[in-house]
Amino acid sequence: MSRQIYFDNAATTPMRNEVVDRMTEVMKLNFGNASSTHSFGRSSKALIEQSRKVIASFLNVSASEIVFTSGGTEADNLVLRSAVRDLKVEEIITSKIEHHAILHTVEELSKEFKIDVKYVNLDSKGNINYQHLEQLLQSAKKQLVSLMHINNEIGNALDIKRVADLCKLNNALFHSDTVQSVGHYKLDLQDISIDFLAASAHKFHGPKGIGFAFIRKNSGLKASIFGGEQERGYRAGTESIHNIVGMEEALKISYSNLEVEREYVLDLKKHFISSLKKSFSEVSFNGNCEDIEDSTYTLLNVCLPIAPEKAAMLQFQLDLKGIACSKGSACQSGSSQNSHVLTEILDEVHLKRPSVRFSFSKFNTKDEVDYVIEVLNSFVNN
């Protein structure tokens, strides 16, 4: 039987044992509805509010500014839709390499509310042009900027404070999808004047189906889900207590071990890069992901020098050998649709080659990296 190696942590991460244990305990002992006034309900409510305080403390914000959601996608939708509907935003500035939770929502809002959508220019690596962003902000319309902190496909890191300062200077609202950065980077939201952000627990070894939105106090945002007064009225519905506590536990562990685990994972990434360069002279790296300073330490998006006729079998062969990763372009899967991110930044030659995203966590090892290199070598050279 082949080995089972998981290098798709940007898609989702395995839960930590401590998180599973804590969630199991809560499911057994704290099953009361948090809206109930009896002791069972009060016990559940206390756990939720304690989790809210802990999560808020890591971002240096007030607990009342944390709204629990089903994940990053719902948080993005809540912010963007309410900003247009309730705050009367007339123009959204974003980029063409955002997550589809942003792009598809903005497209729908444009159709529904006839708002203007402007896309900031990108360079060949997928970095935003800050001068162009500044130009776009010179508008009399009420604007919201939505730019992700860490790109989920190519790992580029946005200068989030610079964008926040530009938005504040020009009286624009700023929202960021921080799904790939919360739990991996420290964000002090007293220093970074961001208005809204989205996060998801399953990206930092927590449970799926839970995330949160940060909504700056007195923003004026309103509910998108109606039916009850849960989550300060932003999100009706009985709270998923075990998931909320699981997210708190995962975030606590992630931040308490941040420096040690970051160094460990970064070392894996460096080893992967050097091994790929030794094995494939024409290998290239998409976006900034080869640059240790300007990309996340958790991700590598690789364009491999493989002929198109062979490229279609790459993903299948990796899966056959027990290696889980994500495709970076259509060539390797037979799909009819390229990655929208790579389509924006790659030339025709590199788009025809297979690109693969490998993403890492503390549960990976150098031995696993070496095995992937061995499998790739065998595939390319046979």
The residue with tokens 């009399």 is 140
| CATH code, domain carrying 232 | 3.40.640.10
Residue % of the chain over a pLDDT of 70: 97
- Residue 279 and residue 242 share a domain: no
**Over the stretch 142-190, which tens digit does the pLDDT of each residue have?**
999 999 999 999 999 999 999 999 999 999 999 999 999 999 999 999 9
HSE, side-chain direction, 13 A CA sphere, residue 316? 10
Write the single-letter amino acid at 64. Answer: S
- Residue 327 and residue 186 share a domain: no
Q: Distance between CA atoms of 335 and 378, rounded to whole angstroms? A: 24
Q: Is 331 a residue of the active site?
A: yes
Structure tokens at 190: 């007293």
**For the ranges 12-16, 55-59, 330-334, which has the lowest average pLDDT?**
330-334
Long-range contacts of 340-343 (CB under 8 A, 24+ apart): 340/96, 340/97, 340/100, 340/103, 341/97, 341/126, 341/151, 341/153, 341/154, 341/287, 342/153, 342/154, 342/286
Give residue 380's pLDDT band: very low, low, confident or very high (50, 70, 90): confident
Catalytic residue among 167, 289, 325, 331: 331
CA R_g for the chain: 22
CA distances for 117 relative to 85, 103, 136, 295, 354, angstroms:
15, 10, 11, 27, 31
- Residue 199 and residue 72 share a domain: yes
| CATH code, domain carrying 375 | 3.90.1150.10
- Residue 248 and residue 352 share a domain: no
**Domain boundary residue, one of 224, 256, 288:** 256
- Residue 163 and residue 289 share a domain: no
Structure tokens at 62: 């007030």
Q: At 145, which helix (H) or strand (E)?
A: strand 143-146
State the chain's mean pLDDT as an integer. Answer: 94
Model-level pTM?
0.95
**For the ranges 47-56, 115-124, 211-220, 320-329, which has the lowest average pLDDT?**
320-329
Q: For position 330, what pLDDT does the model report? A: 38
Q: How many domains does the chain have?
A: 2
**Host domain of residue 341:** 257-381
**Domain boundary residue, one of 206, 240, 256:** 256
Q: Are 75 and 198 in contact (CB under 8 A)?
A: yes
- Residue 109 and residue 44 share a domain: yes
**Domain boundary residue, one of 256, 278, 300:** 256
- Residue 157 and residue 278 share a domain: no
Structure tokens at 97: 């390499």
